[in-house]
Amino acid sequence: MKKINDTREIYRACGKQSSILFFVLNDLNKIDPMYQFSLDWYKALFMRHIEESREQMYQDRIKSITKYHTLQVFKQACRSLFEKHKLLLSMQMCIKGQMADGIINEDEWSFFLRGGQVLDRTTQPPKPPFDWITQQYWDNVTELEKAIPETFTGISNAVTLSPKEWQRWYLSVKPAPPESAPLPGEWETKCEGDKLKKMIVLRCFRPDRVNFAIRNYVEHFMKKEFIENKPTIIKEVFEESKPTEPIIFVLSPGVDPTDALKKQADERQV
């Protein structure tokens, strides 16, 4: 079995995923301008992960190394993110990787992000006269048929003809909430095996459950670590820092790292 010792060869083998991850991080400044990740920082992180995994550098284990690097990038980046943006990061890392592999349909992803927006309802099928189907939900459903006709043609008619079945799914709690329960009628079969399509339908009717569906999606395709909220450990931050680079704490109400810093100083006798 050929062992890979040349760092450049390793970089080429893992280059696709590493470039995806960097641009995902780079896009975070669109969410909050405070999020800035430099290319030099990322390159240093990548090289450190190569060194940490050097004993595993075999040709048939590149995927394992890439997964390790992906998880470490997520953990490092989360130290700089507000809690509400961590799930967004893990979902972006997952989806962008799937897009690069040709697994994700960009039209479906775009609809999932934006939903259905109607400017003219004159040609829209009449909304069923049920309180649980709001105009916004109906806009989403009817626009979904237009945006992704190869899968969702006829879904508005299905809702109109079987409102009780759809309402049961909409209100389901046991044995599973809507993000885990089977879709009504033939739509479970049409979307079977495609979790993004099922999330799109969920987004149309239950946007309040989308975050739960995203967590399930990330856990299914990546690891549970990508949806777990773990506190920052000062010891790990110190060990990964450099004397020439300051560690900056951005504090929020109720958060005070003073005790943790004092404990770390006592342990290191400084």
CA distance linking residue 65 with residue 53, whole number of Å: 7
pLDDT at 110 over 80: yes
pLDDT at 7 over 70: no
Q: Hey, what domains does the chain have and what are their CATH numbers?
A: 1-104 (1.10.8.1220), 107-206 (no CATH), 231-270 (no CATH)
What local confidence, expressed as pLDDT, does residue 2 receive? 47
pLDDT tens by residue, 125-168: 999 999 999 999 999 999 999 999 999 999 999 999 999 999 99
Per-residue pLDDT band at 199 (split at 50, 70, 90): very high
What local confidence, expressed as pLDDT, does residue 1 receive? 43
pLDDT at 229 over 80: no
The pTM (predicted TM-score) of the whole model is 0.83
Question: DSSP code of 244?
Answer: T
Provide the 3-class DSSP secondary structure of residue 58: strand
CA distance linking residue 253 with residue 267, whole number of Å: 27
Contacts (Cβ under 8 Å, ≥6 apart) of 61: none
Residue 61 Ramachandran class (φ > 0 left, ψ -120 to 50 alpha, else beta)? alpha
The residue whose two tokens read 């939900």 is 137
DSSP letter for each residue of 93-144: HHHHHHHHTT-S-HHHHHHHHH----S--TTSPPPPS-TTS-HHHHHHHHHH
Of the chain, the percentage scoring pLDDT greater than 90 comes to 51
pLDDT at 57 over 60: no
What local confidence, expressed as pLDDT, does residue 249 receive? 78
